[in-house]
Structure 1
Amino acid sequence: MGLSSLSILLLALVASPALGAIPEHLIQSLPGWKGALPSKQYSGYIKLDQTSGKNLHYWLVESENDPMNDPIVLWLNGGPGCSSLDGYLNEQGPLHFNRTSADNLTLPDLIYNPYTWAKIANVMFLESPAGVGFSYSDNPKDYIIDDNQTALDNYHFLVNFFNSYPEFKNHEFFVAGESYAGIYVPTLVNTIRLMNEKVPANQVINLKGFMVGNGCVGNLVGGCGHQTGIKIHIDFYHGHALFPDELYDEIMKTCGDFSKLDEACSDKINEMSMMIGKVNIYDIYSPCFSNLQSVSRASNPIKDHLVSYLEDPSRYYGPDGCIDDHVESKYLDNEAVRKAIHVKSKAEIGGWRICDQQKLHYMANTGSLLPIYPTLIKTYRTMIFNGDVDGCVPFIGNEQWTSGLGFGVKEGWRPWMVDDQVAGYVTKYDTNDFQFVTVKGSGHMVPQYRPKQALAMFQRFLSNQPL
């Protein structure tokens, strides 16, 4: 991905002077939480530049350990169009909801997450691109966006963030994310790599590594690929006993190598989807909850997901048929909450959605990241990880492409342990300790489904210790 000299000039013009932490972004208190926060937290907008109307919302959680020395980690959820506050509120953030305390009249209580990644790192959750969550633009045309522009916008955000928080500029910096952030993370990492070679020394970002969980690798390859993804999903569902051998054989006979998804092949895939029924695509062994704000109870998440492959791969979206964001939306649409975290009111920018597929017009235009991965792996510490019961981006595809890069194997497939129990399996390659990791029994959102194992994996990655 090339970067124009105009982009470099623009960054030089808009970079703000070192100011220290933005004091007006400090969160003093949060509705639903009593007492002091576990560590300092900042939330607010950073404007990308003086000519753009884009304002990206971030939520920074300082480390509970040693914030002035611990690494800083950027977390991105995927979608495209899904909010990284899902990561804060349901995955590795320090505060989660006590869902039993929520009713139609009161806000839910917040409870402490003992497996928050903020125990060992400064963690920043970024709602990107503009149009996602609380992030917005003054120009509606900015909601028409693609992978390349998203990477540039996220880079511009980081430059301005580190100029606003110079105390973090020299910290070790890592980027992490899941799902469609399998596109966001490497494209941002590659942008940082290219820009670090061109910008002045005081604008260099101290990037050390990146992690991608249950991630896409392009819309032509891997588990999110138009043709490759169909085959990977079918093999995963069949291997987990969700439909019988007889239908599997019929699909293979009808669809061949899946290079031509004709009507007969599509009919067989739809037959498979209906036979599987309403299974939680994000964790095939967990209950499926309906998002009453966006889908009906008749929704078939697996069928909805595969339709995105069959119809238009450039408009790929993850399914939301088993996501219940009622509590999150209620909390984040409360004006007292919005005031506490310094974001625009509902009247100004509308309601918060966990995944916005209406305002945002996103074009998934990354065919394959495989050509740039060898360079990224040689340059930065890299981990690709997967929950092994995720039916949205199955581990099969990520195991295939990571092994297919051609690196020598340093350590073959072996278990890794937490509390003397198998937490999953790891393959380590001979180039910069590149790793492919599975998390046993976890669905799509690993820090949500296996929080203890996710924290252990994260800690060992940051400290460059073996799993």
Structure 2
Amino acid sequence: MFHLLFLVTLFVHVQSVPQNSSIVEYLPGFDGPLPFYLETGYIGIGKSEEVQLFYYFIKSESDPRKDPLLLWLTGGPGCSSFTGLAYEVGPLDFGQKAYNGSLPILVSSSYSWTKFASILFLDQPANTGFSYATTSEACKCTDLQACDQAYEFLRKVFDKLYQIHELSIIRLKMSHKEMKTLISSNQK
């Protein structure tokens, strides 16, 4: 339950930036400003942008201009990338205090992949995590449609991130099925 509370309060302390995104400078449970760059936002997909894919972007804490940019899609499909951010490779850990009903304590992780790479965490397909669709038809999504949506997302978000952050190297982390489908979809 406290993790849901954490997610809801994530959006309380943000500074707006253009194009449906926000820079998060403070998180409840973390003492002081975040020691890393965290941006969250939506990228519209489709002719009418009826699918809104949500992302978290964390800039490398080392050398963002030279370090790789990783795309993180939690396997499933249909599992939020927040699990990877919060429990696997992200820059914060939950403190080890026993849960007492209050907000969890957040501490910096010394094992974060953001020490050497920028990471783009994507909630995909629609209705995964904070991603959503504005029509019931857009909610229906085959594996190939999900790949097309991911490809459109990547084109749009990389253009945006490159303009803002001048990132250069791109690497992907996906589950085996997603990688095979994305590759075969783009070879056609």
Assess if the C-alpha contact under 8 Å between 1:99 and 1:108 holds in 2.
no
Task: Name the CA distance, whole Å, in 1 between partners of 2:146 and 2:157.
Answer: 16
Task: Name the CA distance, whole Å, in 2 between partners of 1:101 and 1:189.
Answer: 44
Assess if the C-alpha contact under 8 Å between 2:36 and 2:58 holds in 1.
yes
Assess if the C-alpha contact under 8 Å between 1:101 and 1:109 holds in 2.
no
Equivalent residue in structure 2 for 1:88, among 85, 89, 93 = 85
Task: Name the CA distance, whole Å, in 2 between partners of 1:109 and 1:22.
Answer: 31
Match of 2:5 in 1: none
CA drift at 1:72: 0.5
Q: CA RMSD in A?
A: 2.3
Structure of greater relative contact order (alpha carbons < 8 Å, 6+ residues apart): 2
State the Cα deviation string for residues 182-206 of structure 1 (Å, max 9, x = none).
Answer: 11123224445x48xxxxxxxxxxx
SS at match of 2:24: coil
Q: Which amino acid aligns with 2:125?
A: P
Equivalent residue in structure 2 for 1:49, among 46, 60, 78 = 46
SS at match of 2:141: strand
Match of 1:166 in 2: 162
Match of 1:67 in 2: 64
Assess if the C-alpha contact under 8 Å between 2:80 and 2:129 holds in 1.
yes
Task: Name the CA distance, whole Å, in 1 between partners of 2:108 and 2:68.
Answer: 22
Residues 34 and 83 of structure 1: CA distance in aligned 2, closer, same or farther (over 3 Å): same
Q: Which amino acid aligns with 2:154?
A: L
Q: How does 1:140-155 map to 2 (within 5 A)?
A: 140-155=136-151
Q: How does 1:122-271 map to 2 (within 5 A)?
A: 122-167=118-163, 171-177=168-174, 181-191=175-185, 194=187
CA drift at 1:118: 0.5
Q: Which amino acid aligns with 2:117?
A: A
Task: Name the CA distance, whole Å, in 1 between partners of 2:60 and 2:19.
Answer: 17
Task: Report runs of 4+ in structure 1 exceeding 6 Å deviation.
Answer: none
Match of 2:110 in 1: 114
Assess if the C-alpha contact under 8 Å between 1:75 and 1:175 holds in 2.
yes
Assess if the C-alpha contact under 8 Å between 2:65 and 2:167 holds in 1.
no
Q: TM-score, normalised by structure 2?
A: 0.81
Residues 163 and 102 of structure 1: CA distance in aligned 2, closer, same or farther (over 3 Å): same
Q: How does 1:259-408 map to 2 (within 5 A)?
A: none
Relative to its length, the structure with more strand (as a share) is 2
CA drift at 1:142: 2.3
Assess if the C-alpha contact under 8 Å between 2:45 and 2:149 holds in 1.
yes
SS at match of 1:79: coil
Q: TM-score, normalised by structure 1?
A: 0.34
Relative to its length, the structure with more helix (as a share) is 1
Q: Which amino acid aligns with 1:188?
A: L
Assess if the C-alpha contact under 8 Å between 1:77 and 1:84 holds in 2.
yes
Assess if the C-alpha contact under 8 Å between 2:64 and 2:167 holds in 1.
no
Q: Which amino acid aligns with 1:165?
A: L
Task: Name the CA distance, whole Å, in 1 between partners of 2:136 and 2:23.
Answer: 29
Assess if the C-alpha contact under 8 Å between 2:66 and 2:167 holds in 1.
no
Assess if the C-alpha contact under 8 Å between 1:58 and 1:127 holds in 2.
yes
SS at match of 1:118: helix
Segments of structure 1 that go 5 or more residues without pairing to the other structure are 1-19, 196-467
CA drift at 1:114: 1.0
Q: Which amino acid aligns with 1:69?
A: K
SS at match of 1:165: helix
Residues 31 and 101 of structure 1: CA distance in aligned 2, closer, same or farther (over 3 Å): farther
Task: Name the CA distance, whole Å, in 2 between partners of 1:40 and 1:96.
Answer: 16
Q: Which amino acid aligns with 2:115?
A: K
Task: Name the CA distance, whole Å, in 2 between partners of 1:115 and 1:153.
Answer: 31
Equivalent residue in structure 2 for 1:32, among 24, 29, 33 = 29
SS at match of 1:59: strand
Match of 1:219 in 2: none
State the Cα deviation string for residues 218-261 of structure 1 (Å, max 9, x = none).
Answer: xxxxxxxxxxxxxxxxxxxxxxxxxxxxxxxxxxxxxxxxxxxx
SS at match of 1:64: coil
Segments of structure 2 that go 5 or more residues without pairing to the other structure are 1-16
